[in-house]
Structure 1
Amino acid sequence: MFTYKVDEEISLKLVTHRDAEEIFDLIERNRKHLRKWLGWLDVSTEIETTYQFIDANLRKFVVDEALDTAILYKGKIVGKIGLHTMNIGNKSAQIGYMLDENYEGKGIMTRAAKAMTDLGMYEYDLHKIEIRAAVENKKSRAIPERLGYKKEGRIRSAEWLYNEYVDHVVYGMLRSEWLTRT
């Protein structure tokens, strides 16, 4: 099984069926908190949907189209992060993430996103990684900004979130920039 040690507190592990209940419980506990920024929550109301999502991501993992990992903090799943829409031909991907509200403010997501960027650049030999976040999602936008990603622009009406379209800010990191960062 794929596991990547980030530091003494955090590891990333490939999400498998064994994680379905814990991930579903995390979503249930944080549904109200996450709903503001994640448009798929209303279709993920039963554990069967979590199993289906895991199946789809495992199939993508086998053909290098995605890497969906659980964030383990002191051995407990507290969130997820992954390389999504991975295109090996173009050597590009997007990072997406979510975190249990009770674990915010500990630097967990910044460390996990740094590790996921390392994995993308070093293990998958990607040329570019993007992180997209709703304009008003300041906590999510702070992650790429802390890591030195460049703000590349704004996508108007990028996502339908329940009752309105929201714009996204796109951040990008090129391999050459990541390898030479200070």
Structure 2
Amino acid sequence: MTMFPFQVNESISINIIQPKDRDELYTLIDNNRTHLRKWLLWLDKRQSPSDLDSVIAMWAQNVEERNGFDAGIWYKHKLVGMIGLHYIDWKNKETSIGYLLSESFEGRGIISTSIKALLDYLFAEFKLNRVIIQCAETNLRSRSIPERIGFVEEGISREAQWLYDHYENIGTYSMLSSEWNK
């Protein structure tokens, strides 16, 4: 995927997490552990920077195989979050976007702005037809992002994700290329 680094605007850039970014990524995760743990199961598996080595290698392989990406979001040259495409279904021209953001950078439009720029690219350059965002039903901040951008809510999957000690209902939103920028 030759789209990286991806300049969203003058303040926001998206780039593949490299081994050199490992410590900065770990700091982001560790500083936001309590905040992010409410929604992400994998945080407890990342207890030191070295725990990210195999994950970063897997992310590089996914990019190489055109099978999605996991990238950092830099805001004014500071790593503040992540955004990624989970598996790209090239046959059906579909993917899903996942994201996380440092709690101290919420409310600045960083994720919404990044997703809008990615949608422009995914529909125009990758010729995808459908992009999905899934969020926990109770994660109102996360759900407001696809709602604000104009994604269509397809429904709620009941108890679709086990999260530590309980099930979460998952909301699914979609955007079609025919609906984007109309």
Q: Please tell me the TM-score bracket, short chain as reference.
A: over 0.9
Distance 1:41 1:14 in 2: 19
Quote the residue 2:65 is aligned against: 63
1:117-162 deviation digits (Å, cap 9, x = unpaired): 2232222211100000000000000110111000001111111111
Q: Residues 1-182 of structure 1 correspond to what in structure 2 (within 5 A)? A: 2-178=4-180, 180-181=181-182
**8 A contact 1:120–1:126 mirrored in 2:** yes
**8 A contact 1:83–1:116 mirrored in 2:** no
- Which shifted more, 15-24 or 127-136? 15-24
Distance 2:41 2:148 in 1: 25
Segments of 4+ moved more than 4 angstroms = none
Distance 1:49 1:157 in 2: 29
Distance 1:3 1:122 in 2: 17
SS in 2 for 1:117: helix
SS in 1 for 2:32: helix
Residue 33 of structure 1 and its aligned partner are, at CA, apart by 0.5
Report the TM-score when normalising by structure 1: 0.95
Residue 46 of structure 1 and its aligned partner are, at CA, apart by 2.1
Report the TM-score when normalising by structure 2: 0.95
Contiguous gaps of at least 5 residues in structure 2: none
Distance 1:126 1:115 in 2: 14
Contiguous gaps of at least 5 residues in structure 1: none
Distance 2:89 2:49 in 1: 29
Distance 2:160 2:122 in 1: 24
Query: Among the aligned pairs, what percent are the same residue?
Result: 40
Residue 49 of structure 1 and its aligned partner are, at CA, apart by 2.3
Distance 2:29 2:130 in 1: 29
**8 A contact 1:126–1:175 mirrored in 2:** yes
Q: How many residues align?
A: 180
Distance 2:16 2:136 in 1: 26
Residue 81 of structure 1 and its aligned partner are, at CA, apart by 0.4
**8 A contact 1:4–1:11 mirrored in 2:** yes
